[in-house]
Chain A
Amino acid sequence: MGQYKMHLLVCGGTGCRASESARLVDVLGEELVKQGLEKDAQVVTTGCFGFCEKGPIVKIIPDNTFYVHVMPEDAAEIVAEHVLKGRRVARLLYQDPNSGETIEDSKHMGFYQKQLRIALRNCGFIDPECIDEYIARDGYAALGKVLTEYTPEQAIDILKKSGLRGRGGAGFPTGIKWEIAAKNAADQKYVICNADEGDPGAFMDRSISEGDPHSVLEAMAINGYCIGANKGFIYIRAEYPLAIQRLEIAIRQAREYGLLGTGILGSDFDFDVELRYGAGAFVCGEETALIHSMEGERGEPTVKPPFPAESGYLGKPSNVNNVETFANVPVIYLKGPEWFASIGNERSKGTKVFALAGKINNVGLIEVPMGITLREVIYEIGGGIKDGKKFKAVQTGGPSGGCLTEKHLDTPIDFDNLLASGSMMGSGGMIVMDEDDCMPAVAKYYLEFTVEESCGKCAPCRVGNKRLHETLEKICEGKGTEADLDYLRNLSSVIKDTSLCGLGQTSPNPVLSTLDNFWDEYVAHVTTRTCPSGRCKALLHYSIDTEKCTGCTACVRVCSTAAITGEKRQPHVIHQDKCIHCGACFDKCKFAAINVQ
């Protein structure tokens, strides 16, 4: 980014692309030429800024102006006003959802102020399709340092000292994992990057692969040097076409620059990376299942031990880490393990990337120091609950995690505290729910997912989760009994104790944590047969307010089961035995005469 006075950074992540950011890039470029400014300013397509809610986003460097919801039609004005005259286009600036104040640059936005970006350090700053930009920000310097200054043992020691724990879910210390793989002697070893991000509502690995693919490649090469592997694989979801494309470009460029291949940076270390595609199976996030899938088999997990570090891909020692874990590695070598260990709290070091989504004002990708509280995340970074509704719960850990509630708002977020609260860190999905969300229905939603994704190998998971789902369905339809609640609890503990892999061992978590935190809601479903949040259709009770009904018969005409009767211009009646709770009458009534309970 040398000779230009100004850079217009446009987000090219999946979210912003869906809102036409690719065309915006073209139009901005054309406008610069049209107004004779192509030598002064440059348009750069970057990775995700994280603020997906407000996309497409344009950030202007050097003044950090942050434009939101920018459409191709706005390009001419941005170029004429901002680039030429240096005046900000006020109508495109971000407005704080609570104070209504217009904020001019990203440094003053609540969304960014509390964040600390390590894994996402380059996302939104560099063009991910240009290796030179990565190198300009100290890219591949860590690899050079490790290859020239450290033995593999020393390099592993540094990682151990940093306290980095796996970001894929379980939080196993990364340095120890590398050490085990290094100690198992073999003629061939493998480095595997898990980019099979299957949690619904999680997109951090996708964003890193799209926004900073070289950081993953660099870390994999360091990993290869440390454990004695010369071959790496990235196992990535086929549903992430853009991430695949960016990784392919990155691999090609790294090979051209001699940063992958034989004799890297003049050393005698060889390392190369290939992509392997997933095909849509959540269980493949489990490392043994992932390895079977890479071998062309059904992605079914196997018993550990042997761990992949002993016998992994093709029976050879393999080290598996996820994208975010790898993205942290190069910085640790550049800034030192002490620096990394100084961030976070006692047992969880560094930062964690979360995909903040659901009923929250600022949906997006955030990176925060471990130990931050949920309150800070939701209200300061997230800008509070959408439409001024009341916060109810936040779900972390995806289908393996649980719900945290108001009482957990001030608990510091780290691996151990989340586990103690009945949830887990998981890969980092954070879904915020408000008063309109029904917790038994949310548990049912997750179980539906697990039932679909259970590989079927072991009975507790295959059969047990199906039974859990049926019982939850019964409850949401108003056919549950109090005995069902005990049944849910007992069956959950059996599934947890007897399943083979992490999927089954954690699948009842959404049920258990909602039972613990929202017991009254379950009780309401099975005793008074009501759904307090009004989400369970079958439990809604529609009736006509005779005072307000004018007898216009509009509702009679939309009712598909002829459940409404009455004389013209006289108050009508809904016959509960025929009502299917579809809500058509409620939507149709112009006089607000239909009550829902």
Chain B
Amino acid sequence: MSTLKLTDCQKGKIKEICVSFHNDPGELINVLHKTQGEFGYLPEEVQREIAKNLNISVAKVCGVVTFYSFFTMTPKGKHPIAVCTGTACYVRGADKVVDELKKQLNIEVGGVTPDGEFSLDCLRCVGACGLAPVVLVGEKVFGRVEPKDVKKILDSYKE
């Protein structure tokens, strides 16, 4: 059990989302999408609250959350970085870009920097293979990234 406590306001928000999908357990994935959009991630307490609203077991909610890579139980950084490791990016050297990001940020893939500024993830194919290798920072797409470009990209997000 983690120690996070949801406020009544947050609980109200979750309830609202569930009601908008008619508290239908068949809409669980849509509920999770909406909730993650609201909270940024899906910690255990949020999952418990959703389970209560939809009248299903927490195990079922957790089973679905952990099954799909889009859902996360840990918060992301202020600037979430995602490196595409689809095949096209892979053969054009995405792995070297990942290594450089790991080195510069001093975190592993899946980690967040201690100041909460950056998080690092890999994702599979954003479909911009013409720009391979591709790095996303939030919604912004950087194409044809080489390890030497990493510092410049990171610096543009540091104040």
Contacts and interface: CB of A to CB of B under 8 A. Distances in A.
B27 to A, nearest CB: 6
A18 B27 contact: no
A203 B26 contact: no
A15 B70 contact: no
A431 B69 contact: no
Contacts of B92: 358-359
Interface string A41-52: 000000000011
Contacts, number: 130
A18 B143 CA distance: 8
A280 B130 contact: no
Contacts of B32: 279
Interface stretch (B81-89, B111-119, B149-157): B81-89
Interface residues of A, number: 54
Interface stretch (A154-162, A246-254, A293-301, A472-480): A293-301
B67 A431 contact: no
Contact of B85 (A17, A200, A299, A314): A200
Interface string A433-462: 100010000100110010010010000000
A14 interface: yes
Contacts of B85: 200
Interface in A416-433: 429, 431, 433
Range, interface on chain B: 35 or more
Given A279-B32, A280-B70, A297-B64, A14 B126 contact: yes
B29 interface: yes
B69 A279 contact: yes
B132 A357 contact: yes
B134 interface: yes
Given A279-B29, A363-B129, A299 B67 contact: yes
Contact of B33 (A53, A279, A398): A279
* 5 closest Cβ pairs, A-B complex: A52-B130, A203-B127, A200-B86, A279-B68, A18-B141
Interface of B: 24-30, 32-33, 63-64, 67-71, 85-88, 90-92, 123-132, 134, 141, 143
Given A15-B131, A19-B131, A359-B92, 7 more contacts: A15-B127, A53-B130, A200-B85, A239-B123, A277-B33, A280-B123, A445-B87
19 contacts: A15-B130, A18-B128, A18-B131, A18-B141, A54-B130, A203-B125, A239-B123, A239-B126, A276-B30, A277-B30, A279-B69, A280-B68, A293-B29, A295-B26, A314-B26, A358-B91, A363-B132, A433-B91, A452-B69
